[in-house]
Structure 1
Amino acid sequence: EYYKNIPPWSSIIEIVGRIEEIVALKEITFQKTGGKGTVFKFVIANDDGTRIQILSWDDEINRVIPFIIIGSTIHIDGAFSKPIDNKNRCYNSGSVDIELKVESNTKINVLERMSSREVSTLETFQYPLISIEDCEQYLQKKKNTQAII
């Protein structure tokens, strides 16, 4: 329930969640200034499946990346909350109207790390070879993929 009630424009947000999604680094050009920046996004979820997107920009990225492993549970303290406007909603992978930004004072701790042994024991599923005409029945299902590189 806390995810849905995060106050906007606060720099003292403390949150715990399981990392569900990681988005590759992306270089952004800002329309107003023409300046460039690099953003790293990931999504955490709580036990009821509510998701919140977390952003890390430029100098904070290298500090954040070592903590971010799919399936791990992390504690974030001191993130900045920003409401998502309708114009930018399509860029958000969360399920709430707030995204969090990692600041220079934000602390991240791993509470439970997904290890390579745990990954190797995950259940596998053999997907059948199907024709294009039959693929519609599979499109409604969400597929999670995890790999160690």
Structure 2
Amino acid sequence: MAKLIVIIGTTRNQGGSVAEAFLADKKWRLRIISRTPLKPPHENGPPAALLASSLSDPAVRAEAGKRGISPEERCAEIGIQCGKNLALAARTPDVQKTLERYVYSSLGNHSKLSGGRYIQTWHCDSKAAVERYGRDDPVLGPRSSFIRFGL
């Protein structure tokens, strides 16, 4: 029986190329989770387009303003919560029965790596926070791999 792989976010180059590779290998069954599953990849625009649409979301901007933070920081908080939710779902007993490997595409914590020189690298730092959360999880951590592509 073919193994199952679930790929989250396949509307861009990185996730799309991973999906294509596994589709070509008949040893794998593929499930895809996407924010906009019915939209062709080219209609989603460049990677910055999703960030821009979140940043222009009135609810995101209003929440950020109420709390005295930037919309970019609010988007990072949302990204961290989404990443933690995925990790929590992956560590449930039902998923653990069949999970062989949890792979997360991460980025380095640029605020920390720069010694505090660059402190508003919300996207990178939020991805690093999700990675740290997964690594530290006693159930999910040992079954996880974290990939960092150059930025």
TM bucket normalised to smaller: under 0.3
> Taking CA–CA contacts closer than 8 Å with sequence separation of 6 or more, which of the two structures ends up with the larger relative contact order?
1
- TM-score of the pair, normalised by structure 2: 0.18
- TM-score of the pair, normalised by structure 1: 0.19
Instruction: Choose between structure 1 and 2: higher strand proportion.
Output: 1
